[in-house]
Amino acid sequence: MSDTTFSATPFPKVSAMNSTQQFLDNMEPTTGIGKWVCHLLIEEGVIGVLGNLLVCFVILRVKFLHTMTNYLLVNLAVADMLVCLECIFYGLIYYENCKIIDYVPKTFGGKVVFCCFLQSNFLGWALSYASAYNLCVVTFERYVALVHPLQYARKLTATRMKTLIALIWVTSFLFSLPFLFTLKPSNDPDLACSEIEYQDNTFHILLGVFAFFLSYLLPLTLMSWAYYKIHVTLKRQAKALNLQHARAAAYDLVIARQRLVRMLTMVLGALIILWTPINTNFLLCINPTFSFCGSKGFKYFEAITCIMLYFNSVINPIIYELKYKKFRQGLKLTFCCCHKSHGANTVDIAMVPL
């Protein structure tokens, strides 16, 4: 039975793939690149935890940010924060160049838990699913509020949204269950896990296609379609109000909604840019005949895509600070006692549905 190394990405270790951990472990000591990569991942994780924790703190503390949209952003920030914590945990425990604990469970039960729930990347996949689908929930809430505003209060009650959020988290872990069957406890007392060998590569191919569709293609397709419909609706509303010479407050409300939707679209755009390389790489390397997956250049490419993947969970708080006016106001109100409120004519872009 072949022993396996830990993969730095939240993707399964399959026979057709080189893992980023292999990249980190096999780099020549004189280059220092492997150590640089794992240090960068740990630094990303620390920054991401602090940034997403700040988002939760500001939104929950400032009363004018207590809206359905912002509560969903808190849930998204929690998912991203857990992804960053996982990045730190794996960096400090598993990466050969950075690990601080060389831990191998001694009991069979300990190895089962260690291999199936930690080293198999079950948690990494579950949290990645949660991050993607929580962003889908944010998109769904904005879609109903702006495209079907008359149905908002009836469809999106607080109870239904709580149920939907709970369902997202449960489903994310259920979708990740197949990854429990990629590793098993090793018979070697000095090694924790071994890769499960199947008669052919069918399981890994089906698992790869399943994961690519559910974690990447499906949520991005749904969100892209929803934001397209939202942009069309808001553009039509702005044009109609402009032609009717509507009151300035009504027109400003539409413009404010457009700004918030643009901010959320940037979050989606960052997800597409930062997730596409590693998902493309993952899908291509399911095929064992693709020669690039065994090349030296692939090891560099995979390490870069891994850094990009985790950076997605770091960048969202930065986008909020740069593009979300109400969040900036809440940040000032939280940390600056001399913050001055704006005039009464300022439109609240916290986004009431009408």
Cβ contact 243:206 at 8 Å: no
Asked if the structure places residue 9 within a domain, the reply is: no
Higher-confidence residue: 34 or 298?
A: 298
Q: Output the six-digit token pair for 323.
A: 């593009």
Instruction: Say if 2 falls within a structural domain.
Output: no
Range of the domain at 199: 20-335
Q: Is residue 67 part of a domain?
A: yes
What's the angle, vertex CA 333, arms to CA 264 and CA 43, rounded to 5? 60
Q: Is the pLDDT of residue 261 over 60?
A: yes
Is residue 183 very low, low, confident or very high in pLDDT (cuts 50, 70, 90)?
confident
Q: Provide the mean pLDDT of the chain.
A: 78
CATH number for 320? 1.20.1070.10
Residue 7 lies in a domain: no
Instruction: Give the pLDDT confidence score for residue 342 in this predicted structure.
Output: 45
Could you tell me if residue 176 is inside a domain?
yes
Q: Is residue 284 part of a domain?
A: yes
Residue 12 lies in a domain: no
What's the confidence (pLDDT) of residue 94? 65
Mean pLDDT of 177-184: 87
Measured CA to CA, the distance from residue 55 to residue 61 in angstroms comes to 10
Residue 247's pLDDT is: 60
3 three-class SS: strand
Do the domain assignments include residue 351? Answer: no
- For residues 34 and 96, the answer to whether their CB atoms sit within 8 Å is yes
pLDDT digits (tens, 9 = 90+) for 40-78: 888 899 999 999 999 999 999 998 899 888 999 999 999
Contact 9, 309 (CB under 8 A): yes
Strand ranges, E, within the chain: 183-185, 193-195
pLDDT at 29 over 50: no
Total domains, the chain:
1
> What is the model's pLDDT at position 8?
42
pLDDT per position as a tens digit, 143-160: 898 888 888 888 889 899
